[in-house]
Amino acid sequence: MSSFVVKKDPKSSEGFKIVLGKSVVKKAAHRNLLKRRIRAVLRPIVGDARSGFVIIVRPGANHLTFEQIKEELTRTIVSINK
């Protein structure tokens, strides 16, 4: 099962939003680290997109490495843009 759910946001014309609740990662420092990693992965991918995205992070994502996050988000966003 995927650690991320990516949806197009019809209300937003560009950029992305990350939804990461306390139920996924308890400590704020760890949530912020995960958000920074996700933003670092998404900037080159979504930089020129004309529609916004909402990324919902699911439990278990905090155990992924940067490379695993990059691979999973890239695969998911490319499939949505088709």
CATH code (residue 58): 3.30.230.10
- Split into its structural domains, the chain has a count of 1
Q: pLDDT tens digits, residue range 66-76?
A: 999 999 988 88
What's the rounded Cα separation, in Å, for the pair 12 and 20?
19
What's the rounded Cα separation, in Å, for the pair 9 and 55?
10
For residue 49, the enclosing domain spans 4-81
Rg (CA), the chain: 12
Helix (H, G, I), strand (E, B) or coil at 8: strand
Q: pLDDT tens digits, residue range 4-43?
A: 988 887 776 667 889 998 999 999 999 999 999 998 988 8
**Which strand (E) or helix (H) includes residue 55?**
strand 52-57
